[in-house]
Structures are given as structure tokens and as C-alpha cells.
Structure 1
Amino acid sequence: MIITEILKHGRENATRADELAAKLETTPRGLRSQIMRARDAGEIILYAPGGYGGYFLPSDDPEIAQKEMSAFYHVQAARCKHGLKAIAPVARKLGIPLGQLDFESEETL
């Protein structure tokens, strides 16, 4: 089963990760891998944190979809920024130039 066939449109229809993993008969790690593969293929799969959060596709309403995607973008950008701040001292110590990340490569240092 393909993840985008299970997910519904709109934040109000978000599916919790544990429910989604069960529907796909996979583990939480397997779920994250499937989501990453779908995103790598160009699918837009959004996530909303919190008690009523979960994974979902953008709303069918373009105006609402824009707001959902913007909210997802800003949450993820903040997480990335905090993650980069966490590794910055280590990168400096290793002599790795900050800001030189290759997002297309699977290779890690």
C-alpha cells in the first residue's frame, strides 16, 4: 500500500504516526522511511505536531493548503535551525565549514 493512498487531505484529517504505521503494517522507523521516499519523489506530506496532530496531505482548498504548507515549513525550518546550532560547535572543532551541507547526498561524515 502506498502512503499517499492512505493519507487524507487537510490538517483536520491528520493520521497519527502509530495509526499510519499500523495501516501500512510497518514500524515507526519504516513509516519515516516511506514518508522520506515519498517526499524524495516529490510528494508533499505534511505533519502537524501535538495531540491532534499527525500526517496529512495538503487541503483541497488552495488557500487552506497554502496555510498548512506554510505552517509545516516554519516548524521544520525552526527544527533545522536548532539542529544546526547544536552541531555548529562540533563542525567548527572538526574543521567543517558551516553551511556546507549537501541535502541531495545520502553520505554522512
Structure 2
Amino acid sequence: MLIEHRTYLLHPGKVPAYFNLYRGCGLPIQLEYLRQPLGYYTTEIGPLNQIIHLWGYSDLNERQQARSRLKADPRWNTYVAQLMPLIQHQESKILTPAPFYTPQAVSYRMD
């Protein structure tokens, strides 16, 4: 399993507008193509005005196929056009588990 860690830096004061737009438009469309997010957060301490969300995939191929289907949906493109003025910067990272970690249980090897 891998995790996509997406961070959006919003313009100051735009977090409520982002969440309203996302809940009403973006999330319902995403859930047709992507799995349920593993987490969806906003920052309170440190860099502010950030939205961080985590998505799980079995591999990069699954991620690419799911996101390609999502991007082909005209409703998604309309949503993104409304969302982009709220965002200053976007970053996406792919996280892979450490060799001693499994998502179901943590096991540490001593060798």
C-alpha cells in the first residue's frame, strides 16, 4: 500500500470556503472514483491555512487509473475551476511504508 499526501496552502481566510465547496461538490465526485480518504485535516499550529488529505492506493498504477477517470469527469473540471482561486500552492507526495510497518499492525524487526 502507498499513501498520497496532498497539501494545499490556501489564501488566508479561505479554509471555510474551501470546505463548503469541497463538501458540496468535490467530495461526492471524488468518492465515485477514489477510495474513502484516509484522513482530511486543516492546520491549527505551524503553517496555517493548509488543507492536508491522505489517500490510500494499492500501487501507483491504481492511483494513476483512478485519478485519470476522475480528471475525465466534466463535473470535476468545473469544480476544480471554482477551487483554484482559493489555492496558493499545491504539493503531492507519495509515501511508502517503512520495511518494518504494515498497515494492519506494527511489527518491529530487531535484525
Q: TM-score, normalised by structure 2?
A: 0.27
The structure with more helix, counted as a fraction of residues: 1
- TM-score w.r.t. the length of structure 1 is 0.28
- Tell me: higher relative CO, structure 1 or 2? Use CA pairs within 8 A at least 6 residues apart: 2
Q: Which has the higher strand share?
A: 2
